[in-house]
Structure 1
Amino acid sequence: MATSNPAFSQSPAFQNQSAGAATLSAENLQQMYESPSANAVDTDRMTVEDTIVKTAISFAVLLVGAVIGWMVPVLWIPASIVGLVLAFVNIFKNRKKPSPALTLAYAGVQGIFIGGISLFFEANWGGIVLQAVIATIVVVGVTLALFASGKIRASAKATKVFFIAMIGYALFSIINLVLIWTGANSDPWGLNGSVEIFGIPLGLVIGVLVVIMCAYSLVLDFDAIQQGVKNRAPRVFGWAGAFGIMVTVIWLYLELLRIFAISRN
Structure 2
Amino acid sequence: MRESSNPVFRSLPKQQGGYATFGSGAAGAATAQVHQGYEPYTVPPQTGVSRPMTIDDVVTKTGMTLLVLTAVAAVSYFLVDANNGLMMPFTLIGALGGLALVLVATFGRKQDNPAIVISYAALEGLFLGAASFLFANLVSNGGPGMIFQAVVATFGVFFGMLVVYKTGAIRVTPKLTRMIVAGMFGVLALALVNILFMAFSGSAPLTDGGPLAIGFSLLCIALAAFSFLIDFDAADQMIRAGAPEKAAWGVALGLTVTLVWLYLEILRLLSYFQND
TM-score in terms of structure 2 length: 0.75
Structure 1 counterpart of 2:70? 63
Give 1:114's match in structure 2, choosing from 123, 128, 132.
128
> Which residue of 122, 133, 137 maps to 2:151?
133
Measured after TM superposition, the shift of residue 125 of structure 1 is 2.3
Match of 2:117 in 1: 103
1:113-192 pair list within 5 angstroms? 113-123=127-137, 124-126=140-142, 127-180=145-198, 182=199, 184-186=201-203, 190-192=204-206
**Displacement of 1:228:** 0.4
Looking at both structures, which has the greater relative contact order when contacts are Cα pairs under 8 Å and sequence separation is at least 6?
2
Q: CA offsets per residue over residues 9-49 of structure 1, 9 Å max, x none?
A: 974649xxxxxxxxxxxxxxxxxxxxxxxxxx996111111
Distance 2:154 2:128 in 1: 14
Contact 1:207–1:255 (CA under 8 A) maintained in structure 2: yes
* Matching residue within 227, 230, 246 for 1:236: 246
Report which stretch shifted further, 249-258 or 155-164. Answer: 155-164
Note the alpha carbon deviations across 1:99-125, whole angstroms, 9 max, x for none: 111001000110110011101122132
1:52 correspondence with 2:62: no
Deviation at 1:68? 2.2
Matched, 1:221 2:221: no
Q: Per the alignment, do residues 81 and 9 of structure 1 end up closer, same or farther by CA in structure 2, a change over 3 Å counting?
A: closer
Structure 1 distance, partners of 2:92, 2:130, is: 8
Matched, 1:89 2:104: yes
Distance 1:48 1:178, change over 3 A: same
Asked whether the 8 Å contact 1:204–1:263 carries over to 2, the reply is no
- Give unpaired runs (5+ residues) of structure 2: 1-32, 41-47, 81-85
71-80 or 82-91: bigger deviation: 71-80
Provide the aligned C-alpha RMSD in A.
2.3
Closer, same or farther in 2 for the Cα pair 1:215/1:194, shift >3 Å?
A: closer
Aligned to 2:9: none
Q: Distance in 2 between matches of 1:100 and 1:259?
A: 33
One-letter code aligned to 1:156:
P
TM-score (norm 1): 0.78
Q: For the residues of structure 2 that align with 1:143 and 1:12, how far apart are their CA atoms?
A: 47
Amino acid at match of 1:125: N
- CA gap 1:9/1:222 in 2 versus in 1, 3 angstroms: closer
| Structure 1 pair 55–193 and aligned structure 2 pair: CA distance change class (3 A) | closer
Structure 1 unmatched runs, 5+: 1-6, 15-40
SS at match of 1:72: helix
Structure 2 CA distance for partners of 1:177 and 1:44, relative to 1, 3 Å: same
1:12 & 1:79 partners in 2: Cα distance? 56
Identity %: 30
How far apart are residue 192 of structure 1 and its match? 2.1
Amino acid at match of 2:201: A
Question: Structure 2: how far apart are the matches of 1:179 and 1:11?
Answer: 72
AA aligned to 1:56 is: G
Rounded to whole Å, the distance in 1 between the matches of 2:36 and 2:213 is 72
Q: How far apart are the structure 2 equivalents of 1:108 and 1:167?
A: 27
Greater radius of gyration (CA):
1
